[in-house]
Amino acid sequence: MMATSAPSDSTRLSLMQRFRALGLGRWLVIMMPMLWLAAFFFIPFLVVFKISLAEAMISVPPYSPLIEWDPNNAYATLKVTFGNYLFLFESRFYLDAYLSSLRIAGISTFFALLIGFPIAYLIARSGPTARTVLLSLVILPFWTSFLLRVYAWMALLKKNGLVNDVMMSIGLIDQPLQILQTDFAVYLGIVYTYLPFMILPLYTTLEKMDLSLIEAAQDLGAKPWRAFCLVTLPLAKPGIIAGCMLVFIPAVGEYVIPALLGGSDTLMIGRVLWDEFFLNRDWPLASAVAIVMLIVLVGPIMFMRNGNKEAL
């Protein structure tokens, strides 16, 4: 018994050692992004979370310290308040802002998908030369500042802007329409800005799809539309999920577009956040708003992650 178990033990040990040697390299590779995330996401998150538990004060910084050190008696007091969070839930205003943000982001994501899918499909199905040209056209807007492009939309949509001028000159309308400072302008701005983020992941999934799958579906009796629903759509699911995630999540917290294109009644959490920080200088409340927004977004992120796993 001893004789037979000894060699197997020694091989197991050497395997373990080998695994550890291999593990170190992997550990280093994994550490890099981990450190990055810790430095630029997790630590700032903790700071914001800490501020959200404080009370607003007129001081520098404008909030109460978390730990109060009494040098005379040599003891520390931990001062934590959940008052900011309670205030968020008591006030109808913040709930409305969250819901309105989710609605605007949701509707914008839907339209981005509706517009982005055919574009991605077209690019994926076109020849190599046309494909390169079309893809660079999709990416081209990134060469100009995002802010400039939103300002350009303001110029286009204002009362005596190009859109109104053209519609009036062809007799479509008599009076200039109020387009700027409406929810419509916000949808337009978000869809326009985030469309490339929808198209690119959709393109990647559609491009690697085997065309013979569609032919097989048709060969087995599915008309083109059925083949699309039963084969193309399910197989594009990872791309649809990735694209929606890339549009929805930044759109929820979007500040610039509703501020520049939206009206005073366009309520979005990004604007509320800005106002709390810079107008009211209520950093703790603003931090609480930010933390709750993060929690609100964790839900859809988890859902999409699960969906993606399933698709694989």
Partner 1 sequence: MSVSSVMPQTTSQAKPSWRQTDAEPFVRIEQITKQFGDFTAVNNVSLDIYQNELFCLLGGSGSGKSTLLRMLAGFEAPTSGRIIIDGVDMSHTPPWERPVNMMFQSYALFPHLSVEANVAFGLKREGLPNAEVKKRVADILDMVQLGHLARRKPHMLSGGQRQRVALARSLVKQPKLLLLDEPLGALDKKLREETQFELMRLQEELGITFIVVTHDQEEAMTLATRIGVMNHGVIVQTAEPHDMYEYPSNRFVAEFIGNVNMFEGTVVTDERDSATVHCNDLQGLVYLDHGISCASNQSVSVAIRPEKLRITRDAPNTPHNRCEGVITEVAYMGSQSIYKVRLASGCEVRVTQPNAQRDSGDRLTWDDHVHLSWDPDSSVVLTS
Among 68, 90, 165, 215, binds partner 1 (CB under 8 A): 215
Q: Rounded to an integer, what distance in angstroms lies between the CA atom of residue 54 and that of residue 300?
A: 29
Quick one: 104 or 217, whose CB is closer to partner 1?
Answer: 217
Q: CB of residue 215 vs partner 1: minimum separation in angstroms?
A: 6
Q: CB of residue 311 vs partner 1: minimum separation in angstroms?
A: 7
To which H or E segment does residue 149 belong?
helix 146-157
Site string for partner 1, 260-299 (x = CB under 8 A): ----------------------------------------
Determine, following the binding rule CB under 8 A, whether residue 230 of this chain makes contact with partner 1.
yes
Among 47, 234, 298, 301, binds partner 1 (CB under 8 A): 234
Determine, following the binding rule CB under 8 A, whether residue 217 of this chain makes contact with partner 1.
yes
Q: Which stretch binds partner 1 (CB under 8 A): 30-38, 227-235, 246-254, 255-263?
A: 227-235
Determine, following the binding rule CB under 8 A, whether residue 204 of this chain makes contact with partner 1.
no
To which H or E segment does residue 68 belong?
strand 67-70
- Span between the terminal Cα atoms of the chain, in Å: 46
Q: Which amino acid is at 70?
A: D
To which H or E segment does residue 70 belong?
strand 67-70
Determine, following the binding rule CB under 8 A, whether residue 207 of this chain makes contact with partner 1.
no
Quick one: 16 or 216, whose CB is closer to partner 1?
Answer: 216
CB 219: neighbour CB atoms within 10 A? Answer: 10
Q: Rounded to an integer, what distance in angstroms lies between the CA atom of residue 6 and that of residue 285?
A: 65
Q: Which stretch binds partner 1 (CB under 8 A): 80-88, 173-181, 207-215, 240-248?
A: 207-215
Quick one: 45 or 228, whose CB is closer to partner 1?
Answer: 228
Determine, following the binding rule CB under 8 A, whether residue 210 of this chain makes contact with partner 1.
yes
# chain residues binding partner 1, by CB under 8 A: 19
SS3 36: helix
Q: CB of residue 259 vs partner 1: minimum separation in angstroms?
A: 42
Among 213, 229, 298, 301, binds partner 1 (CB under 8 A): 213
Quick one: 156 or 230, whose CB is closer to partner 1?
Answer: 230
Q: Evaluate the omega torsion of the peptide bond into residue 118 and state whether it is cis, within 30 degrees of 0.
A: no
Both tokens of residue 237? Answer: 């699911």
To which H or E segment does residue 76 belong?
strand 75-78
Determine, following the binding rule CB under 8 A, whether residue 220 of this chain makes contact with partner 1.
yes
- Spatial CB neighbours of 214, under 8 Å, sequence gap ≥ 6: 227, 228, 231, 232
Determine, following the binding rule CB under 8 A, whether residue 301 of this chain makes contact with partner 1.
no
CB 253: neighbour CB atoms within 10 A? Answer: 17
SS3 6: helix
Determine, following the binding rule CB under 8 A, whether residue 221 of this chain makes contact with partner 1.
yes
Q: Rounded to an integer, what distance in angstroms lies between the CA atom of residue 171 and that of residue 31?
A: 63
Residue ranges binding partner 1 (CB under 8 A): 210, 212-213, 215-223, 226, 230-231, 234-235, 237, 311
